[in-house]
């Protein structure tokens, strides 16, 4: 049985964090190729450091594209984040592209042929999770951490708070009673800022943002409200620290409140089950909780490279279930085809919808009209309720 009284912390990082800059560039490259060929194969890794943007990885695309188009896409992603600094500028940074053709051996294992269905793009285990502690059915610490940084970015980009610069981190610590959050114990926000502002200045700029995100009366004690605790934070982003694609996998998912299979999402087309199976796992877990079958749900799927069917389906309702886990383990694969092709088709993943996922979490978001965040829909609820 899980503990019901405890203290738990999650962190988030902004779109201007060096690793998130890389995630955004990599996912923008995925979108570029999917816009030309819905069945393009992409595995794009990005490295950033002081005035350097480097791409590496494998691609296969039936549409026409040029190196200039790839470079323009990467630079546009950095520009949208807001980097126009001496040490990292969307226009002036050196750009190198080492993307090349996908391995024929990998392609052979993944492609469908004859009686063979499309196989998984790699082996691995993927987890999905949902909890009823927030309306988004996400753990509260990571949800609040994301929202703080998202609102700061909105204020920065709108011009209302030009003092903020793109690089930032947040961290929220909550106290739980009987399995539900009841109090914020501390909040940490570290944000890059323009020259000339003191730590006290930045603290007062951040304060109303945090208050607007947290429930009424949940603002932490003053001595537990930490803003830029090291002092000055003018040099940031890739100029202050090198970035790489895929290094913020806990930020991308559930803030440590649920298991993680270890595979990153960004830069990967949906044949890669690291991404697509993690999305369908969240989709299934969210629908289970939304249907009232449990207050919490963890789902694990596993795959082998080149094999279409999942090797295992595991469900854990954490002692909160209104139905046996074994019933869900048998029934969920009947509701949704959990092969790589079935996942792609059910969630309609072969679309350029990924750049928007690169910051502020892949989960707990609102589904978009064009199919973005389709894994956040709760359209299985009626079917699942009938099981109970």
Q: Please indicate if the annotation marks 377 as binding a ligand.
A: no
Q: Please indicate if the annotation marks 102 as binding a ligand.
A: yes
Q: Please indicate if the annotation marks 194 as binding a ligand.
A: no
Contact (CB, 8 A) for 156 and 162: yes
| Cα dihedral 309→315→321→324 (10° resolution) | 60
Q: Please indicate if the annotation marks 247 as binding a ligand.
A: yes
DSSP class of residue 366 equals P
The residues annotated with a catalytic role in the active site are: 17, 19-20, 45, 58, 169, 233, 241-242, 247-248, 268, 272, 274
Count of CB atoms situated within 10 Å of the CB of 268: 27
Conformation bin of residue 22: beta by default, left when phi > 0, alpha when psi is -120 to 50: alpha
Q: Please indicate if the annotation marks 264 as binding a ligand.
A: yes
DSSP characters over 168-221: EEEEEEEEEETTEEEEEEEEEEEEEE-TT--HHHHHHHHHHHHHHHSPTT-PPP
Q: Please indicate if the annotation marks 169 as binding a ligand.
A: yes
Pair of tokens at residue 280: 């369908």
Pair of tokens at residue 74: 């990467």
Q: Please indicate if the annotation marks 167 as binding a ligand.
A: yes
Write down the residue that tokens 């207050």 correspond to. 295
Element of type H or E holding 48 = strand 41-49
Q: Please indicate if the annotation marks 296 as binding a ligand.
A: no
Q: Please indicate if the annotation marks 223 as binding a ligand.
A: no
Q: Please indicate if the annotation marks 324 as binding a ligand.
A: no
Contact (CB, 8 A) for 54 and 9: no
Angle between helices 18-36 and 67-81 (to 10 degrees): 140
Q: Please indicate if the annotation marks 79 as binding a ligand.
A: no
Point out the annotated binding site for K(+): 45
Q: Which residues are annotated as a binding site?
A: 17, 19, 45, 58, 102, 167-169, 241, 247-248, 264, 268, 272
Binding residues for Mg(2+): 19
Binding residues for ATP: 17, 167-169, 241, 247-248, 264, 268
């Amino acid at each position: 049985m899980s503990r019901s009284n405890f203290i738990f912390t999650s962190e988030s990082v902004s779109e201007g964090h060096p690793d998130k800059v890389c995630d955004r560039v990599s996912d923008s490259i995925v979108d570029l190729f999917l816009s030309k060929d819905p069945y393009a194969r992409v595995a794009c890794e990005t490295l950033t450091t002081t005035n350097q943007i480097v791409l590496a990885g494998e691609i296969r695309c039936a549409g026409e594209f040029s190196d200039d188009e790839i470079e323009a896409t990467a630079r546009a992603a950095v520009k949208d984040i807001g980097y126009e600094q001496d040490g990292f500028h969307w226009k002036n940074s050196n750009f190198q592209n080492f993307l090349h053709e996908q391995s024929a051996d990998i392609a052979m294992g993944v492609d469908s042929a004859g009686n063979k269905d499309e196989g998984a793009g790699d082996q691995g285990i993927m987890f999905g999770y949902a909890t009823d502690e927030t309306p988004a059915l996400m753990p509260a610490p990571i949800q609040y951490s994301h929202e703080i940084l998202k609102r700061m970015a909105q204020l920065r980009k709108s011009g209302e708070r030009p003092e903020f610069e793109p690089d930032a981190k947040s961290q929220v610590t909550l106290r739980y009673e009987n399995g539900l959050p009841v109090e914020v114990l501390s909040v940490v926000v570290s944000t890059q800022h323009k020259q000339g502002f003191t730590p006290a200045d930045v603290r007062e700029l951040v304060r109303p943002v945090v208050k607007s995100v947290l429930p009424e009366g949940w603002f932490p004690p003053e001595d537990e409200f930490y803003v830029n605790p090291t002092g000055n934070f003018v040099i940031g982003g890739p100029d202050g620290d090198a970035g790489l694609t895929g290094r913020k996998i806990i930020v991308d998912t559930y803030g440590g409140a649920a298991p993680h299979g270890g595979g990153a999402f960004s830069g990967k087309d949906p044949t890669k089950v690291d991404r697509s199976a993690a999305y369908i796992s969240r989709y299934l877990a969210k629908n289970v909780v939304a249907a009232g079958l449990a207050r919490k749900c963890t789902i694990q799927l596993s795959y082998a490279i080149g094999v279409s069917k999942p090797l295992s389906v595991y469900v854990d309702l954490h002692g909160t279930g209104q139905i046996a886990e074994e019933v869900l383990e048998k029934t969920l694969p009947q509701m949704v085809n959990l092969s790589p092709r079935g996942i792609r088709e059910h969630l309609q993943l072969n679309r350029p919808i990924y750049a928007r996922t690169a910051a502020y979490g892949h989960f707990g978001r609102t589904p978009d009209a064009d199919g973005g965040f389709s894994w956040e829909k709760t359209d299985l609820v009626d079917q699942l309720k009938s099981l109970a």
